[in-house]
Structure 1
Amino acid sequence: MTAANPTPPTAGEARPGRVAFIGLGTMGLPMALNLVRAGFQVAGYNRSPQKTERFAAQGGIAADSVAAAVKDAQVVITIVPDSPDVEAVLLGEDGVFAHAAPGALVIDMSTVRPETARAVATEGAARGFRVLDAPVSGGEPGAVAGTLSIMVGGAEADVEAARPVLEAMGSTVVRVGPSGAGQTVKAANQLIVAGNIQLVAEALVFLEAHGVDTERAFTVLGGGMAGSTVLERKSEREGLSRGE
């Protein structure tokens, strides 16, 4: 395991607890880096070692296994592609529950089925862990900027214990209910976003068919009730495609 040299705390300031971060992909890497910038000591692991090396090069600690990442961690964060990946990372023989210290706060920030979140929370509690499901919305730009919206399911006391870590990655952190509730709200988020994307795409085709300046049209639409994050992001892409 390759150690980095995080910035030391200022005089009289206690060093934040150690965090393990499993999954350094498009979303996970910038999220983990925001934790490093916030002063947390973060050990990161990813199945692709190149991503772990990128994390270490920017101030994190590179771990070569889940077991190495979670050693001595007070907080463990996972963000992986799907439900089977969450089950493998948390419940597997080489997973988090097998190697983390009992009492650790385990936060799964993947987007998975609510029943998966409830099942791993139940198993984690039986093994002495505090487990939260905390999926995110805001995409890669939000992950980079640290402005994600984080919908959290789990015990209220555990959410409050996790808040300093979550607020280093997101600007909107809300407990929405018990275990599985975070994933249920994320599913509702996906329904709204998918519908919005489809409507924006249809509106764009309509505008182009009638020879309208789409960039200016999106600007005025964004200032009214049609405004949305989807419309804003599409407008930004339109500008980029014009070289602006």
Structure 2
Amino acid sequence: MTGPHLAFLGLGSMGSGMALRLLDSGFPVTVHNRTADRARPVAAAGAALAASAAEAADAADVLVLSLADDKAVDEVLFGQVTLRPGMLVINTSTVSPGYARGAAAKASAAGARWVDACVVGNPAQAREGTMRVLASGAPEDVEAAGPVLRALGGTVLPLGPVGRAPAMKLAFNLLLGAQVASLADAVRYGEHAGLDRDLLLAAIGGSGFSSKVMSFRAEVMRSGAYEPAAFRAALMHKDLRLVVEDARELGLDLAVTDCAAAYFGQAIAEGNGDADAAVVGAAKE
């Protein structure tokens, strides 16, 4: 294997795919996941398995994070790992722009470098390396991260200073959440108006009003196959709340986004947080 030694922390559906892709691309990779069972398939593919995040990071030149939220990144990066001068942190986790800027400053104080690498795609694309990667950070740091970013994505889009990539990713997820919530409303209305649910979903998915995202979620709603999730309802809710909170700090009121977030909050309250975001359009008994 060639290239810098990577520590990959966080092996959910996206993280596992990315770690496997990096192995396929020739990088030596050490992995750690809080739930050890999720790390074993990646270890079986050739990754070294670390007993802790600290152990993984100690063996690596580059630290790649794929964690759930700001809190998880903070706990791992500043509570479990010892950052070293020159270490490159590539954060693929979706966090708030403000958190990214603060974390980058804390990493810099320890002599480490930070690059936002927000990924747009699904678990299959993560495994194939065909995602779109949104990158932000100091130009020299983004350049240093380039081999890893290009292994992960068919397109790498540099966006400027730290925080810009998370803002772009949240703008994308705002559109995703609003579309899925609107699709759920359209189906609910159509059913109550006497339309056949399957026929309506098929018609929407194949219409000029659709998109790749909407046709995919329409099929998930039609089939009722909400697990395994391509994008969990709980993560969708988290991202929409990050948008709303950041918008408030910017003096904006995003009423549509706020309303869409409530749909996914209700899904969590109903015990469906781990199901695909399309669960907000599930047929009611």
TM-score, length-scaled by structure 1: 0.82
Deviates most, 35-44 or 122-131: 122-131
Q: Is the 8 A contact 1:20 1:73 kept in 2?
A: yes
Q: Indicate how the Cα distance of structure 1 residues 217 and 207 shifts in structure 2: closer, same or farther if over 3 A, else same.
A: farther
User: Which residue number corresponds to residue 87 of structure 1?
Assistant: 74
> Which of the two has greater helix per residue?
2
- Code of the aligned partner of 2:31: G
1:61 aligned partner: 48
1:140 paired to 2:123:
yes
> 1:211 & 1:66 partners in 2: Cα distance?
51
Moved more, 210-219 or 226-235: 210-219
| Alignment-mate amino acid for residue 220 of structure 2 | R
Once the two structures are superposed, the pairs formed by residues 120-159 of structure 1 within 5 Å of their partners are 120-159=103-142
Q: Could you tell me how far apart the structure 2 residues matched to 1:192 and 1:219 are? A: 17
Moved more, 33-42 or 79-88: 79-88
**Correspondence for 2:169:** 186
Question: How far is the alpha carbon of 1:163 from its aligned partner?
Answer: 1.8
List alignment gaps of at least 5 residues for structure 2: 226-285
2:158 partner letter: R
- Three-state SS of the structure 2 residue aligned to 1:173 is strand
> Can you list the C-alpha shifts for 1:26-59, whole angstroms capped at 9, x where unaligned?
2111110110011111100111111222221122
Residue type of the alignment partner of 1:211:
D
Instruction: Give yes or no for the alignment of 1:210 onto 2:195.
Output: yes
Q: Cα distance 1:126–1:230, how it changes in 2: closer, same or farther (>3 A)? A: same
TM-score by length of 2: 0.71
Alpha-carbon displacement from aligned partner over 1:165-190 (angstroms, at most 9, x marks no partner): 11222222212221111111122122
CA shift in 2, pair 1:236/1:142, >3 Å: farther
Q: Which amino acid in 2 is paired with 1:210?
A: L
User: Which consecutive unaligned segments of at least 5 residues does structure 1 have?
Assistant: 1-7, 9-14
AA partner of residue 80 (structure 1): L
Q: 1:18, 1:42 within 8 Å by CA — same for their partners in 2?
A: yes
Q: How many residues align structurally?
A: 222
- Give me the whole-angstrom Cα distance separating, in 2, the residues matched to 1:96 and 1:168: 26
**Cα distance in 2 for residues equivalent to 1:107 and 1:27:** 15
Other structure's SS at 2:159 match = strand
| Residue 86 (structure 2) pairs with residue 103 (structure 1) | yes
What is the root-mean-square deviation in Å for CA atoms of aligned residues?
A: 2.2
Work out the CA distance in 2 between the residues paired with 1:89 and 1:238.
35
Q: 1:172 aligns with which of 148, 151, 155?
A: 155
Q: Which amino acid aligns with 2:11?
A: L
Q: Distance in 2 between matches of 1:170 and 1:214?
A: 35
Name the CA distance, whole Å, in 1 between partners of 2:196 and 2:31. Answer: 50
Distance 2:76 2:129 in 1: 25
Query: Which sits farther off after the overlay, 129-138 or 23-32?
Result: 129-138
Aligned to 2:97: 114
- Which of 41, 52, 55 is matched with 2:28 structurally? 41
Shift in alpha-carbon separation, 1:217–1:123, aligned structure 2, 3 A: same
In structure 1, the residue matched to 2:271 is none
1:27 aligned partner: 14
